[in-house]
């Protein structure tokens, strides 16, 4: 039998879940409308009142909310509870612009931590485990979320935060960490450091990793599983909803179950706003169902993704989302062609390179240029100059096949590309500087 934190919810029949969602949706909409002027205005403008929302089927009547709305409402404009009822603030990483702050009541923190506890138990976590949390602590939600979840499971929690990689490894060994939580790019860096320190994955006790907060590929998953000797699981979330734990992967490692009792997902066409059927690729939209301080209705995440409901080997009935392939605003349009950084990562790892790379886009005259810098290992670097040039050509050809355009490849010496301890910054779009 599976390992669940809240088995009744996680394995509930779809009709039961829909009933919970409908019931909570009505309350959440009423709460937002009654307590947030911003919502009242938006809904009045669209001619929809809380009375028009009678069940899940009426969700589409509500207006969308965007990140621009959140920035405009900064800091208190969307707050639905008096500040005296709030106990916590967290903030987005600001990956794509000004940070957004969100507020939590004690109840909001509790449901967020429940979501993270479900994620930990889904990878086999129990109170016997030692959970090393090396997501950043602070305003960023990564550390706080998994930390709270680990407490709820009853695991021994190591609040390491990110950075100081050798110390991470020391504690991992001394205290026998069995589950590690961090960004996939930091996991790769820890794996690399382990090797440099001459420690084999067999010398540590990690069995599972919960990696998220940024896009990563299946190739990266295999890479990290090998270098750390564990099973790597995805976790998804965004500060606006709560933080990590909106969706989590189970032992099937085939997409993330969304905590549908707290968040309703939809996929829309990002250009028209039309709701797309299950299985279609589009922008992920979420509606919170049980948030007190910061209810968000139909929030457009800008993450590009696919939803599918299927019978899962783990016994969970919660709908699954595929690995987001990146945000709509991560997508680069180069010479008119859509390029996702994750496609580049796939090619690199398939061809036996490290996940240490940087993508630079610029403009020369009227032409876009794409330069990809890839770090070589010391073994790869010991090749002759000619052999390295040859490899650059091969790699450019493989990229051309994947992307449809020809990049300029640069194979660079070991350690010349900065490592990431949190969310990796791999793309530099210099065209923006000229605009
Ligand atoms: P910011 O939007 O400033 O980065 P957050 O720290 O709240 O702020 O990050 C949330 C975003 O991180 C998501 O909208 C998504 O783009 C990305 N993300 C989180 N988890 C994953 C994941 N498992 N796979 C891909 N992207 C993810
Ligand atoms: Zn499952």
Q: What are the extents of the domains in the chain? A: 1-329, 332-434
Tokens 């002759």 belong to 384
User: Quick one: average pLDDT of 29-37?
Assistant: 98
Is the pTM higher than 0.75?
yes
Given a cut of 60, whether residue 14 has pLDDT beyond it is: yes
Tokens 């009678």 belong to 54
Q: Looking at ligand 1, which residue's alpha carbon is closest to its atom 10?
A: 238
| H or E segment and range at residue 402 | helix 385-403
Residues within a 6 A CB radius of ligand 1: 92-95, 212-215, 234-239, 301, 303, 323-324, 327
Distance CA 355, CA 364 (A): 27
Ligand 2 centre and the CA of 74: distance in Å? 37
138: left (phi over 0), alpha (psi -120 to 50) or beta: left
| pLDDT given for residue 1 in this prediction | 56
Ligand 2 centre and the CA of 292: distance in Å? 29
Give which of 95, 81, 85 is closest to 239, Cα–Cα.
95
- CA distances from residue 419 to 142, 216, 353, 379, 426 in whole angstroms, order as listed: 18, 15, 15, 19, 10
User: Quick one: average pLDDT of 28-48?
Assistant: 98
User: Quick one: average pLDDT of 82-90?
Assistant: 98
Residue 324: DSSP 8-state = P
- Specify the ligand 1 atom closest to the Cα of 142: 6
Distance CA 37, CA 270 (A): 26
> CA torsion sign, 246 to 251 to 255 to 260?
negative
Candidate of 236, 248, 255, 300 to mutate for ligand 1, largest count of ligand atoms within 8 Å of Cβ: 236
Measured at the alpha carbon of residue 425, what is the angle toward residues 423 and 431, in degrees to the nearest 5?
A: 150
Q: How confident is the model at residue 227 (pLDDT cuts 50, 70, 90)?
A: very high
Distance CA 257, CA 122 (A): 10
| pLDDT given for residue 232 in this prediction | 98
Distance CA 51, CA 131 (A): 46
User: Quick one: average pLDDT of 235-248?
Assistant: 98
pLDDT in tens, 195-218: 999 999 999 999 999 999 999 999
DSSP per residue, 11-31: T--HHHHHHHHHHHHHHHHHH
Q: HSE of 200 in the Cβ direction (CA atoms, 13 Å)?
A: 2
- CA distances from residue 288 to 32, 126, 293 in whole angstroms, order as listed: 11, 28, 11
By DSSP bridging, strand 101-105 and strand 332-334 are: unpaired
Query: What length is written for the chain?
Result: 435
Distance CA 374, CA 379 (A): 14
Candidate of 65, 211, 220, 324 to mutate for ligand 1, largest count of ligand atoms within 8 Å of Cβ: 324
CATH topology of domain 332-434: GMP Synthetase; Chain A, domain 3 (3.30.300)
Query: Helices 184-196 & 218-228, crossing angle to 10 degrees?
Result: 40
Q: Which ligand is nearest to the CA of 312?
A: 2
Q: Looking at ligand 1, which residue's alpha carbon is closest to its atom 25?
A: 215
Structure tokens belonging to residue 28: 């959440």
| pLDDT given for residue 428 in this prediction | 93
SS (H, E, C) 291-304: CCCCCCCCEEEEEE
Distance CA 378, CA 369 (A): 28
Answer for the pair 348, 416: CB distance below 8 angstroms, yes or no: no
| pLDDT given for residue 329 in this prediction | 78
Q: Looking at ligand 1, which residue's alpha carbon is closest to its atom 5?
A: 92
CATH topology of domain 1-329: Rossmann fold (3.40.50)
Distance CA 226, CA 296 (A): 39
Distance CA 165, CA 331 (A): 31
Spacing of C-alpha 268 from chain mean position: 19
């Amino acid at each position: 039998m599976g390992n669940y934190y809240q088995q009744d919810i996680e394995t509930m029949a779809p009709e039961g879940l829909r009933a919970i969602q409908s019931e909570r949706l009505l309350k959440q909409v009423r709460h937002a409308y009654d307590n947030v002027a911003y919502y009242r205005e938006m809904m009045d403008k669209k001619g929809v009142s809380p009375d028009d929302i009678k069940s899940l089927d009426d969700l589409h009547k509500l207006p969308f909310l965007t990140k621009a709305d959140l920035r405009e409402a900064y800091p208190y404009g969307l707050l639905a509870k008096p500040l005296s009822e709030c106990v916590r603030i967290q903030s987005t990483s600001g990956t794509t612009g000004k940070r957004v702050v969100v507020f939590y009541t004690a109840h909001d923190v509790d449901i967020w931590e429940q979501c993270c506890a479900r994620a930990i138990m889904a990878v086999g976590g129990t109170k016997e485990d030692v959970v090393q949390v090396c997501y950043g602590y602070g305003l960023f939600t990564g550390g706080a979320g998994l930390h709270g979840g680990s407490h709820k499971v009853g695991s021994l929690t190591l609040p390491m935060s990110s950075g100081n990689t050798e110390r991470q490894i020391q504690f991992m060994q001394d205290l026998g960490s069995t589950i590690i939580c961090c960004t996939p790019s930091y996991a790769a860096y820890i794996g690399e450091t382990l090797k440099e320190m001459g420690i084999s994955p067999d010398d540590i006790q990690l069995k599972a990793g919960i990696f998220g907060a940024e896009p990563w590929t299946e190739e990266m998953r295999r890479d990290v599983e090998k270098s750390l000797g564990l099973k790597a699981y995805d976790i998804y979330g965004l500060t606006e909803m709560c933080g990590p734990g909106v969706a989590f992967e189970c032992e099937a490692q085939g997409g993330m179950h969304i905590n549908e009792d707290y968040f309703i997902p939809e996929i829309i066409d990002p250009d028209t706003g039309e709701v797309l059927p299950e299985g279609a690729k589009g922008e992920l939209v979420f509606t919170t169902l049980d948030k007190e301080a910061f209810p968000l209705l139909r929030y457009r995440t800008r993450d590009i993704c696919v939803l599918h409901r299927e019978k899962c080997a783990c016994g969970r009935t919660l709908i699954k989302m595929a690995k987001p392939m990146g945000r709509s605003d991560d997508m680069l349009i180069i010479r008119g062609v859509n390029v996702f950084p994750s496609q580049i990562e796939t090619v690199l790892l398939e061809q036996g390179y490290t996940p240490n790379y940087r993508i630079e886009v610029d403009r020369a005259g009227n032409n876009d240029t794409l330069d990809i810098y890839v770090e070589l290992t010391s073994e790869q670097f010991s090749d002759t100059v000619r052999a390295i040039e040859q490899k650059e050509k091969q790699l450019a050809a493989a990229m051309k096949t994947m992307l449809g355009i020809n990049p300029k490849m640069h194979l660079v010496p070991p350690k010349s590309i900065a490592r990431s301890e949190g969310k990796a910054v791999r793309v530099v779009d210099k065209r923006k500087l000229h605009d």
